[in-house]
Amino acid sequence: MKTFVSFAIAIAISSAAQADQEYTPDIEKTIPIDVADPTLNIWKQKRPDLQAGREPGLINVQRYPGGYGFNGIPTFFRLPVALTPADLKAGDVDVAFIGAYVDMGSGSRGANRGPNAIRHSPSEYVSWGSMSMPHMETMINPLKDIIAVDYGDAPNNHLSAERSMEPIREIVREAMAVKNSRGEHVIPFVIGGDHSISYPTIAAAADIYGKGNVGVIHFDAHYDATQFFGHLASHGTWVKRLIDEGHVPGKNFIQVGLRGYYPSGDSFEWMRKNQFRYHTMAEVDRRGWEAVVKDVLQEANDGPKNIYISFDIDVMDPAYMPGTGTPEPGGITNRQAFRLLRRLCAERNVIGIDILELAPERDPGYTTVHNANRLIRECMVGIGLRKKGIVEPDYLSPLTVDDGRD
């Protein structure tokens, strides 16, 4: 009997070994791209007549000077459109919104609907154009105090995250390379899309400002530095690529909001080895939100003067952001996020921003889109404060905190 059992075990081991050998993937057998296909690059080819027949400048596609949120042709915040770098230059632009549709890097589709959800999303009573209103807490009107435009969409190969990376990098670099009349680079504001997009957008910032000259503040429930199944373009790999390629030193990488079951112990060791500064929600629970905010603001000043903000909406609690592919309970609140983003954009030299992982079809009640819209507006208010020279910490208009009585 013992001999039979041993024989059976040997057969099983042999069969498993043969199976492993038989099914070991051969990378050379990966199905190639047909480089002779006439549609190979059609998705990233710009129209040749973008400037034809007109002087460079901003294009207002709205028929009326202003309206309520439900009116108007859906550009980002009903802003004018720019199609070329010459338009950005002639329009003296501060902020250029760019839609980026990649969602193949997450394993959870739907974030490709994020950019146009924001274009369609202004609250019914939050008006635009000549009817736009100031932000009550600061009295900054983000649609008048800064010059912002819809710069259209980054190229997107909807079957390949890998092939989409470099064209996204090119269009972000194209916008960021333009300087306005104050000698400041245009700030690209990228709306996605999954978090793989941050690799090309931050690499583009390093192209313009130089490797090592950009610091990143990364808001996320997850640390996004692990390779999956050999893929180098995914929403969980982009941080590692930026560090490994030298675009951003680890000591200039600040993470806020980590929680749940990941990163692992090995991952934390990797972060420490690379001198990351990170703030978990466990730290927030122990020390308090205000103490962590103070550290984040100080750390943002301890390194390059140029700061890029990458905001995965799953850093917020799913009560506020249910419409995302990887929701994680126990996140930050909308008021915490609004205030900190506004402060960073006002008090630090923010040179690029992305808001990512918005999957509106997973949003049960418009909650996610509504809060994402407000996140973006708070960033714009902060940029408006900085443009006006108001960099007082946590600035609030006296009208909103003091009724004038003794």
- CA distance readout (Å), 50 to 67, 81, 86, 286: 28, 12, 10, 54
- pLDDT, position 175: 98
CA–CA gap between residue 18 and residue 21 (Å, rounded): 5
Q: Is 380 within the bounds of a domain? A: yes
pLDDT, mean of each 10-residue run, the chain (406 residues): 45 49 61 86 92 96 93 95 98 98 76 91 80 94 96 91 90 97 97 91 97 95 74 73 92 93 83 92 96 95 94 95 91 97 97 95 88 96 97 94 75
Q: Which amino acid is at 89?
A: K
Instruction: Give me the residue label for tokens 């750390």.
Output: 299
pLDDT at 267: 85
Distances 106 to 30, 164, 224, 243 between C-alpha atoms, Å: 21, 14, 11, 20
What's the confidence (pLDDT) of residue 4? 42
CATH, residue 115: 3.40.800.10
pLDDT of residue 9: 47
pLDDT at 19: 47
Give the residue among 303, 341, 312, 275 at the shortest CA–CA distance from 215: 303
- What pLDDT is attached to residue 225? 67
Task: Specify the amino acid at residue 386.
Answer: R
In a domain, 51, yes or no: no
How many whole angstroms separate alpha carbon 374 and alpha carbon 245?
34
**DSSP of 301-365, one letter per residue?**
HSS-SEEEEEEEGGGB-TTT--SSSS--SS-B-HHHHHHHHHHHHHHSEEEEEEEE---GGG-SS
| pTM for this prediction | 0.90
Tell me if 38 is assigned to some domain.
Answer: no
- Closest to 191 measured CA to CA, from 124, 248, 116, 246: 116
pLDDT for the residue 21: 55
- Residue 41 in any domain: the answer is no
- Rg of the chain taking only CA atoms, in angstroms: 23
> Residue 137 has what pLDDT?
95
Q: What's the pLDDT at 260? A: 87
Let me know if residue 348 belongs to a domain.
yes
How many residues are present in the chain?
A: 406
| CB distance 141 to 231 below 8 Å | no
What pLDDT score was predicted for residue 3? Answer: 45
Any bridge partners for residue 334, and if so which? none
DSSP designation for 84: S
DSSP track, 178-223: -B-TTSPBPEEEEEES-GGGHHHHHHHHHHHH-TTSEEEEEE-SS-
Query: Residue 373 belongs to what domain range?
Result: 57-399
37 part of a folded domain: no
- Residues of the chain by 3-state class (helix, strand, coil), percent to 5: 40, 15, 45
pLDDT at 24: 61
Question: 231 has which bridge partners?
Answer: 228
Structure confidence at residue 162 (pLDDT): 85
**Number of domains, the chain:** 1
Q: Is there a domain that residue 261 lies in? A: yes
> Is 357 inside a domain boundary?
yes
**Region at 13 (left for phi over 0; alpha for psi -120 to 50; beta for the rest):** alpha
